[in-house]
Each structure stands twice: as structure tokens, then as C-alpha cells.
Amino acid sequence: MADLSPQSGKTFVVEHLDPELEEWSSCEYYTIASECHATGAQFLLSSVSPTLKLSEKLQRAKGLNVETRSVEDIYADKKDKVCLLDPAASKDLNPQDGDMFDIFLFGGILGDDPPRDRTSELRKKGYEGRRLGPVQMSTDTAVRVTRMVVQDRIPVEKIPYIDSPELIINKNESTEMPYRYVKGNDGQPIMPEGMMDLIIKDSEKGLGDLL
């Protein structure tokens, strides 16, 4: 188990809230772990039932720390240092929040359109909440944006975004992803490695419940 004390930098916690661990979530978690590792942050995937089988690729992710305990148990004595990233919060996250909080908490939930507000499962535990602007993001995007705000000190409204990108499936088909992404240096939305393959695979099923 990695050193998860605040002295070792910021900790990003995704509380897994879905009963299964879909390939889509695996892809997102792999990316979050790798990016946190690369930027000196800790990543903790909490509330992972011992019966859930993590894919081999996810198990190999650098920087992945898996916990069966919930965030409430792990940080019972540090509740005031935990910030819940909450699309329904009244205040947006700002760079100074990096001085106030050590632990940033996210719902491990697949996106849905329209959003069903499953982040409320974490809100009702009483954590201080911050919003990342008005548009729903995937969990990996939400973690990426939070790192950019609290570690790189970029105000949330100064980050370049792409909303609802249209992805080309083949020469006859495209699909719109109804979420917000960070714009990469190549001008494209930043998405986890392997996500495009899953989108193509699931394109016939409709994307309403998938992200």
C-alpha cells in the first residue's frame, strides 16, 4: 500500500459506486492511475468489493492503490480535508482549494445523459463540495481537470475544453459524446487509451448509459 499521507502530495480518490467494473470504467481508472503517477499524485480506488475482478491491464497500472474500505472509513479522522467534486455544488473549484484540501473525491460512476445525480450518494456523507463548471465530465476528465486546478493552479474556466465532441466511427457513422473533455495539444478531446475501440464496439447499442 502506498503512503497516502497528505505530506506525500494530493490524493485523488475514486469511490467505485457501480455494482460491476465495466471495461469503460477500467479504461478510465487505468488512465487516472497513470496520470496521477506521472504527476506525483496518489490515486486510490476505494470501495472495491473483493468479488470484483480487475482486468489484468488495470492491475498492472502504475500508481493504482485499491481499497475495499470506503472513503468514509479510510479518512474518518480527516473529513475536513476531503473535497467532493460535485456537479451540484454551489462553488466552483479554484486553485486556492489546493491549500485547503488534501484529498479530492470523485464518484466512480459511468456518465449518463441526462445525469441521474448519483454523486448524491457521496454528497449525503457531508463532504465539502466543489463544482468543475456546469457541464458533466467523465470521471477521468474530472480528475484531470482537478489536478490542473489544484496542482498546476490553472483556474477551471481557463482550461481549454471540447464539449460534446462528434467521434467518427467509420465513413458512414459518427456519434456524439454528450460530455465535456479537456482539449489536448493536438486539438482533440483527451480520452483514455482504448476508449475509442470501446465506443466503436458499442456504437450499435447507443451511448445513453455509457461513458
Interface ranges with ligand SAM (CB under 6 A): 85-87, 106-107, 109, 111-112, 115-119, 131-133, 135-139, 142, 211
Rounded Cα distance, 193 and 43, in Å: 18
Closer to ligand SAM by Cβ: residue 36 or 132:
132
Smallest gap from Cβ 38 to ligand SAM, in A, equals: 20
Rounded Cα distance, 166 and 164, in Å: 7
Closer to ligand SAM by Cβ: residue 109 or 195:
109
Smallest gap from Cβ 85 to ligand SAM, in A, equals: 4
Residues 6+ apart with CB under 8 A from 196: 167
Rounded Cα distance, 147 and 207, in Å: 27
Closer to ligand SAM by Cβ: residue 98 or 111:
111
Smallest gap from Cβ 10 to ligand SAM, in A, equals: 15
Closer to ligand SAM by Cβ: residue 35 or 86:
86
Rounded Cα distance, 83 and 102, in Å: 8
Closest residue to ligand SAM in the complex (CB): 107
Smallest gap from Cβ 205 to ligand SAM, in A, equals: 18
Residue 29, classified by CB atoms within 10 Å of its CB into exposed (0-12), middle (13-18) or buried (19+), is: buried
Report in angstroms the alpha-carbon separations of 200 from 21, 205, 207.
19, 10, 10
